[in-house]
Structure 1
Amino acid sequence: MNAALADVTLHQLLGRIVYFHTIFIVPGCQEEPVLAPAEACCNHRADIRQRTAYGLLATTAWNALDEIATTLPGHHNPCPDRDGSCCATCRVATAGAAITDAWLVTEHHAYHRPRPDTATRVVCRTAGAARLAHAFATQHASACPALASLNGAGSPLLPTPDELPLTGELLTLWQDPLSTASRPVVSWLNHCTALDDIHRVLETRRNNR
């Protein structure tokens, strides 16, 4: 696959996150206790001198994830100074964790499901962080030591698109983001305008089984 097609594909998927977050999550975002804080980024934890948020992240479409994350109650920045010197890849991972957690918690509440337990939240946060950060690092040749500790593999605790359509789709698409390069991502979610719409579809499907 050529680089231009890969870039377009990733930008489309990033746009899908921004769009879905704006119309679905922002109006119904729910707060849960913040989980144990993560470690500081590579650049603040050790003198590694990875490519920085200011020098790399701020110049790309990925910066939208960082902007979303800063508005979320579950976002935690472990660095002593949240500035442009942070490792760009670590910043994407932190944003991915916060976004995935917010979507998970908000969907559980919107569909009247029990609150997600800590184990589920940790697994989902880690998967979201890993899958987004690995895609970013691959696109921009910015792998960092922290990536090795992020496991984006599947787990029985990860929701499927049939269970939690937004969170499940996010995790599924970013497990292998370039697999969508040959076709646009279109699903029934494109016809919904609020979480209530999604809930009605889920209830209809459940009642028709």
Structure 2
Amino acid sequence: MSRASEVLAIHQLLGRIVYFHTLFIEPELRPSTPLAPGQACCNHATAPGQLSVGELLPDSAWEALVEVATTLPAHHRPCPKATGACCATCRVVSAATAVAAGWAQTEFRSYRQAEPAETLLRDCGHRAATRLGRVFATQHASRCPALDRLTVPEALPNTEELPLTGELLALWAEPTATTRRPVASWLNHCTGLDDVRRVLETRRTGS
């Protein structure tokens, strides 16, 4: 795959995150208390000198991921300093963590009318952080010691449990593959989480 095709594939997947978030997740979000900031990024902690937010994110498609994360204050934990000098990869990692955890929580609440386990949210967040973070780091030839230290959970929800979150994690496993199709194409025919819930119930019961 050419460099231009790789960039196009990444842009398409970032656009899909924005689209799904706007259509499915944001209308279902509940008021929440913002979390305290997370750990300091590489540039403000023990590994300064990494490519910065100011160098890589302005006018980048990746900035859309950060904007989505800011709508999820119960999950978004950027660097306490949060300036243009922050490690750009750390910023993407924290945003991806927030998006996956926020989506998983919103989907779980909608389909099961209950609160998900914290381990589920943490595992989804870590998987998204590693997958999106590595794609970003590879695209920009950036290094991020914090990303290298992330552990990847084994078990994750599939598209029959949490369709939006499951698809997010699956698509970013290999976003620049030559052939790319939505993992759960039936999502394209839904206009809200109520539609998704009805489809899941139909698929489970076969009726």
- TM-score, structure 1 normalization: 0.90
In the alignment, which residue of structure 2 is the partner of 1:149?
Answer: 149
Offset of residue 83 of structure 1? 1.3
In the alignment, which residue of structure 2 is the partner of 1:194?
Answer: 192
Q: How far apart, CA to CA, are the structure 2 residues paired with 1:88 and 1:74?
A: 22
Q: Quick check: 1:30–1:102 contact (8 Å CA) kept in 2?
A: no
Q: Secondary structure at the match of 1:160?
A: coil
Q: Given residue 155 of structure 1, which amino acid in structure 2 is its aligned partner?
A: E
CA separation of 1:163 and 1:82: change in aligned 2, threshold 3 A = same
Superposed, 1:1-209 pairs within 5 Å as: 1-30=1-30, 38-46=38-46, 48-152=48-152, 155-156=154-155, 158-179=156-177, 181-185=178-182, 187-208=185-206
Q: How far apart, CA to CA, are the structure 2 residues paired with 1:68 and 1:5?
A: 24
**Aligned Cα root-mean-square deviation (Å):** 2.1
Larger deviation, residues 48-57 vs 87-96:
48-57
Q: Quick check: 2:78–2:91 contact (8 Å CA) kept in 1?
A: no
How high is the sequence identity, in percent, across the aligned residues?
A: 52
Larger deviation, residues 77-86 vs 135-144:
77-86
Unaligned segments of structure 2, at least 5 residues = none
Unaligned segments of structure 1, at least 5 residues = none
Cα deviation, 1:56-79, whole Å, max 9, x if unaligned, reads 012310010111111212234353
Offset of residue 116 of structure 1? 1.4
Q: Given residue 105 of structure 2, which amino acid in structure 1 is its aligned partner?
A: V
Q: How far apart, CA to CA, are the structure 1 residues paired with 2:35 and 2:157?
A: 19
Q: Secondary structure at the match of 1:18?
A: helix
Q: How far apart, CA to CA, are the structure 2 residues paired with 1:87 and 1:167?
A: 26
Larger deviation, residues 12-21 vs 25-34:
25-34
Q: How far apart, CA to CA, are the structure 2 residues paired with 1:10 and 1:93?
A: 15
Q: Quick check: 1:42–1:145 contact (8 Å CA) kept in 2?
A: yes
